Structure 1
Amino acid sequence: MQFISAADLQQHLDWDSIIDALQAMFVEGCEAPVRHHHNMQLPGQADATMLIMPAWTAGKYAGLKLVNVYPDNSQKNLPSIMGGYLLMDGATGAPLAFMDAAELTARRTAGTSALAARYLSREDSSKLLIVGSGRMAMSLGHAHAEVRPIKEIHVWSRTTEKAEQTAEYYRAAGFNAEVVHTLEEGVRWADIVSCATMSEQPLILGEWVQPGTHIDLVGAYKPTMRETDDALVSMSKVFADTRDGVLAEAGDLLIPIANGNFNPEGISAELAELTRGQHPGRCSENEITLFKSVGASLEDLAGAIRCYESYQQR
């Protein structure tokens, strides 16, 4: 069995590769049960979450991700996401590789956002606002730049120092990047707004969002969490990575549904329908599109297979 580190994943699963692998897997499909989601109470700190995510393609590959999300790890200078991914032979069940789950998760999550943006954002989108400053914030800019001509990146975080570190990271990568000090300013400026936070209160308000904007929501992974208000959800054309996933876990949609401000049938399409050409995605330059992702085991399996096959050819 191979051990594939975070560095190996970065080398063998570049942004073009992960987006193409996700596209192919959403088109072809696989068996991907809704993930197990377990709350873990911790003394003296915020609750953690254990996620168990299986997926398989009949007779080819099977995979299982075990990941723990510890929100307070940032205060200890530790990643908030830790865990591992086991890739197996789908015909025999034999283990093939064990991978760093945090890096795989970051790359497949950002890749999924970029894949959705390929269908939902304006083709000329060049201004990206990143909301958050954790590990995902370091991936979203690169992924979106793979599918759109991103020239400028603005970053907002509750902690200005962390926002500046993220902006400096993107400047070093060749982007025109800077910190924005008010979210309203950043949202009104952006073509694409990409949020990766653990907020339990709305951050992005509908009244700030300009016609033609694409909203990408990859944080807020519990029914009690949200990054947007009811108004934004109501005024947007809404899409999901998977309907089952977002309707089980996504507070950004579940809270407006409970408030009577959104109907589950208002989800225009899920990502498989977009990739298969069953829905056109964005239909006008002025409409506001919203993509909600909670993560699906299909995405992990797609990335793990692509990385493993590339690693074997090294």
Structure 2
Amino acid sequence: MARPEAGDLALIGAGVQARSHLEALAAVRPLRRVRVYSPSTAADLQRWAGTWLDVPVEVMPSAAAALEGADLVCTVTSASAPVVAGRDLAPGAHVNAVGASVRGARELDSAAVARCAVFVDSRESAAAESTDLLAPLEEGLIGPYHVRAELGEVLLGRHPGRGDDQEITLYKSLGMAAQDVVAGFAAARAARESGLGVHVAFPAS
């Protein structure tokens, strides 16, 4: 859903999820710039990225400063109140909203969600659990059909994803067991094909 040339990354949050998402994005995108905002752990992420990924990371004083001009955004916080404001999202950006995975927690304000073309891992889960989406719905800023599609529909070619270069896209992730299972099988297959790892036989039950 991100534009092909996207490479200016803003990380909002700097914990374990931020590290794994930075690793993933560095593997699939030529990152031109990485900025991180976190009240407490941004410097730790900066040092880790410089050592293990050879990716320079700039520590920013606010979420707004990190988001300025960014065309890739990952929100990976444990925030209970919004940390990303709609006015700070750049036209054409793609947002992966990964934190706030339980009802009552939020990372995005209502204006941010209203500006975005929204995609989810599961419509059912999003409708039941995502306050990021439920709050603007209750406020009347979005309608019941604001979610464009599930991620699986995009991956299967049933929905085109991004509409144009100026559209702001949002993937709201709540996490699904099915995704974890598929990722596990993919990792195991890649390890076998590369001759890595140790095979452990479990006794039949």
More strand by share: 1
User: Does the 8 Å contact 1:223/1:254 carry over to 2?
Assistant: no
Q: For 1:210 and 1:189, how far apart are their aligned partners in 2? A: 5
What's the offset of the Cα at 1:276? Answer: 0.9
What's the offset of the Cα at 1:151? Answer: 2.6
| CA displacement, residues 176-200 of structure 1 (integer Å, 9 cap, x when unaligned) | 2110111111111311110011111
**How large is the Cα RMSD of the aligned pairs?**
1.5
What's the offset of the Cα at 1:310? Answer: 4.7
Residue matched to 1:240: 120
Q: Where has structure 1 moved over 6 Å in runs of 4 or more? A: none
Residue matched to 1:270: 150
In the comparison of the two structures, how many residue pairs are matched? 193
What's the offset of the Cα at 1:293? Answer: 0.3
Q: For 1:170 and 1:146, how far apart are their aligned partners in 2? A: 13
What's the offset of the Cα at 1:307? Answer: 3.1
Residue matched to 1:280: 160
Does 2:56 align with 1:137? no
Q: Secondary structure at the match of 1:130?
A: strand
Change beyond 3 A, Cα 1:236–1:310: closer
Q: For 2:47 and 2:69, how far apart are their aligned partners in 1? A: 20
Residue matched to 1:128: 9
User: Does the 8 Å contact 1:236/1:288 carry over to 2?
Assistant: yes
Amino acid at match of 1:128: L
Matching residue within 148, 153, 157 for 2:38? 157
User: Does the 8 Å contact 1:247/1:264 carry over to 2?
Assistant: no
Q: For 1:270 and 1:286, how far apart are their aligned partners in 2? A: 21
Q: For 1:223 and 1:257, how far apart are their aligned partners in 2? A: 14
What's the offset of the Cα at 1:145? Answer: 2.2
Q: For 2:86 and 2:44, how far apart are their aligned partners in 1? A: 28
- Runs of 5+ consecutive residues of structure 1 not aligned to the other structure: 1-119
The within-5 A match list for 1:1-314 is 120-159=1-40, 162-172=41-51, 173-310=53-190, 314=196
Q: For 2:96 and 2:183, how far apart are their aligned partners in 1? A: 20
What's the offset of the Cα at 1:297? Answer: 1.0
Q: Secondary structure at the match of 1:290?
A: strand
Amino acid at match of 2:97: L
| TM-score normalised by structure 1 residue count | 0.59
| TM-score normalised by structure 2 residue count | 0.88
Q: Percent identity?
A: 32
| CA displacement, residues 37-59 of structure 1 (integer Å, 9 cap, x when unaligned) | xxxxxxxxxxxxxxxxxxxxxxx
Q: For 1:216 and 1:254, how far apart are their aligned partners in 2? A: 17
Q: For 2:150 and 2:106, how far apart are their aligned partners in 1? A: 19
Q: For 2:167 and 2:124, how far apart are their aligned partners in 1? A: 25
Q: Secondary structure at the match of 1:145?
A: helix
Q: Secondary structure at the match of 2:16?
A: coil
Amino acid at match of 1:147: V
Q: Secondary structure at the match of 2:42?
A: helix
Q: Secondary structure at the match of 1:154?
A: strand
Residue matched to 2:202: none
Amino acid at match of 1:279: H
